[in-house]
Amino acid sequence: MTRPPAGTRRSWLVRVREMTPEIVQGFDNLRSRKLRSLLTMMGMIFGVGAVVAMLSIGAGAQQEVIAFIEQLGVRNVIVEARESPDSQALEKVRKLSAGLTLQDVRGIESNVESLEAVSPRKRVVPVKMLPKPQSEMPMVYGVAPAYATIAGLRVSSGRFFDAGDGETAAVAVLGQAAAAALFGTEDPAGRYVKVNQQWFRVIGVAGPQLAAQADVGGLPAQDRNNVIYVPLMAAMIRIEDSQSFRKDEIDGIYLSLVKEGDIRVAGAAVRGLLDASHRGAGDVSVIVPAELLAEQQRTRRIFQVVMVAIASISLLVGGIGIMNIMLASVLERTREIGVRRAVGARRVDIIRQFLIETTLITTTGGVVGIGLGVTLSQLVGYFAGWSTIVSMTSILLAFFVSVSVGIIFGVYPAMRASSLDPVYALHYE
């Protein structure tokens, strides 16, 4: 490794040694006016704290959504049936479309290229269940065996049902929350669950999955851990649904593409097929997680810029306060400046002295503000139950801005102090 010349290293050491007394003097000047210094720092403290806290809260919220979308699968396309809010709306839709059906699945399989796996879904809300759930009633998903691969579903114990079990087999795989609600800490493998009037034998328990707290891109909010998975035809034939007359034959289709397939082209093809077969009834939504992911990432970048801009207003106000206080300090210390100039201090020495003081104010305020921002984000996460992420980028950004504000807003007072006439300054009262 090339070492810098000895003269260069000595030059930096000399400069640091020369500035040390001025730094000490700057601390002494700030300590001599404790209340004024503290009030001057408040703008920096709250500005930096706001930047760190808002960025961490925003990053946490966005990260949860992005992680949920990534879990949906960036090589997948999801079709969701839109349920009609009332009988009149349902009657209007039924004049155009029979709803989402298995025939739609066959049409997609025949016309969309690069498909790797397909799984219809029938969602059933049970009226009663045994054992009686200790919390909210689990939802029942009737799906094909390929669903586990498409949805990236991991089985923590037992297995997922396959073609060997049969299309109408009375077997079930419990989500993690559903297993806890039905059997507590006991192992549910080999046990039975009664859904409405039908008994199902538990053959596995799915691993934990992320869940969205609100609708994401057309996907309804649903605790994906509080679900019971059964074979598709078993859900359609064995489980009686009290609201079946208002629902489509199936209410969802999951599609997975091979790596070489163009996900956007496939999504457009599925939209076109369903729009044609449903005669523009608008009773289905086609969700492409890859598109949602790109949109969320753009939204996160815009959110970060907006949050930084809003929080920077506090830093701007703090910088104006620093300039005001330093101009008042120049007037108060006019005689001191005259004495220093009389004993040989150069204009650059006076400028450096005042810049050091403003930088100390903003640096100290920045450090305290970072601590305040981290604390605020943790408190919000604890009491509101939100996820927060304090990134090194937000800390460095806030600290850099605070130091820059000190230098920028300290230049004019420093130049004003250095331009004072020494004779006038010595006679100033």
Burial group, residue 385, by CB count within 10 angstroms (0-12, 13-18, 19+): exposed
| Structure confidence at residue 342 (pLDDT) | 78
Residues 6+ apart with CB under 8 A from 133: 178, 181, 182
- Residues 174, 29: one domain? no
- Residues 357, 387: one domain? yes
Average pLDDT, the chain: 81
Distances (CA, A) of 18 to 11, 23, 30, 340, 355: 10, 9, 20, 15, 15
Exposure letters 244-267 (e unless 16+ CB within 10 A, then b):
eeebbbbbbbbbbbeeebebeebb
Assigned domain for 32 exists? yes
| Structure confidence at residue 104 (pLDDT) | 92
Token pair of 242 as six digits = 């009290």
**Dihedral sign computed on CA atoms, order 335, 338, 342, 344:** positive
Range(s) of the domain holding residue 144: 126-231
- Residues 131, 223: one domain? yes
**Whole-number Å distance between alpha carbons of 198 and 235:** 10
Divide the 429 residues of the chain into consecutive groups of 10 and give the mean pLDDT of each group: 49 62 71 77 81 80 74 85 78 83 92 90 90 90 93 90 90 93 90 92 90 64 86 88 68 88 87 90 86 81 76 74 80 77 79 81 86 87 77 80 78 79 63
Q: What are the residues facing 139 on neighbouring strands?
A: 227
**Dihedral sign computed on CA atoms, order 97, 100, 102, 106:** positive
Assigned domain for 74 exists? no
- Residues 97, 141: one domain? no
> What total of structural domains would you count in the chain?
3
**Whole-number Å distance between alpha carbons of 123 and 125:** 7
Residue whose structure tokens are 């005042």: 354
**Whole-number Å distance between alpha carbons of 214 and 168:** 33
Smallest Cα–Cα separation from 384: which of 64, 166, 30?
64
Backbone torsions φ then ψ of 357, nearest 5 degrees: -65, -45
Choosing from 212, 231, 250, the residue where a domain stops is 231
Assigned domain for 6 exists? no
| Structure confidence at residue 427 (pLDDT) | 59
| Structure confidence at residue 228 (pLDDT) | 94
Residue 242 gets which letter from DSSP?
T
| Structure confidence at residue 8 (pLDDT) | 47
End-to-end CA distance of the chain: 58
**Whole-number Å distance between alpha carbons of 332 and 338:** 12
Q: What are the residues facing 81 on neighbouring strands?
A: 284
Name the packing angle between helices 347-384 and 34-72 (round to 10°): 50
Query: Hey, what long-range contacts does 185-188 have (CB within 8 A, 24 or more apart)?
Result: 187/157
- Residues 262, 355: one domain? no
Residues 6+ apart with CB under 8 A from 42: 318, 365
- Residues 147, 223: one domain? yes
- Residues 225, 330: one domain? no
**Whole-number Å distance between alpha carbons of 103 and 115:** 17
The answer to whether the predicted template modeling score (pTM) of the entire model surpasses 0.75 is: no
- Residues 100, 245: one domain? yes
Under 8 Å between Cβ of 288 and 267: yes
Q: Give 230-278 pLDDT, tens digit per residue.
A: 999 999 888 876 555 567 788 899 999 888 778 888 889 999 999 998 8
Identity of residue 270 = V
379: left (phi over 0), alpha (psi -120 to 50) or beta: alpha
- Residues 158, 40: one domain? no
Go through the chain and tell me how many residues it has: 429
| Structure confidence at residue 216 (pLDDT) | 63
**Whole-number Å distance between alpha carbons of 359 and 94:** 70
Assigned domain for 58 exists? yes
Token pair of 232 as six digits = 């598709």
| Structure confidence at residue 224 (pLDDT) | 85
Assigned domain for 333 exists? yes
**Whole-number Å distance between alpha carbons of 220 and 109:** 25
- Residues 245, 115: one domain? yes
- Residues 208, 339: one domain? no
Assigned domain for 287 exists? no
Smallest Cα–Cα separation from 381: which of 51, 24, 59, 4?
59
Assigned domain for 277 exists? yes
- Residues 118, 130: one domain? no
Assigned domain for 172 exists? yes
| Structure confidence at residue 178 (pLDDT) | 93
Choosing from 205, 231, 257, the residue where a domain stops is 231
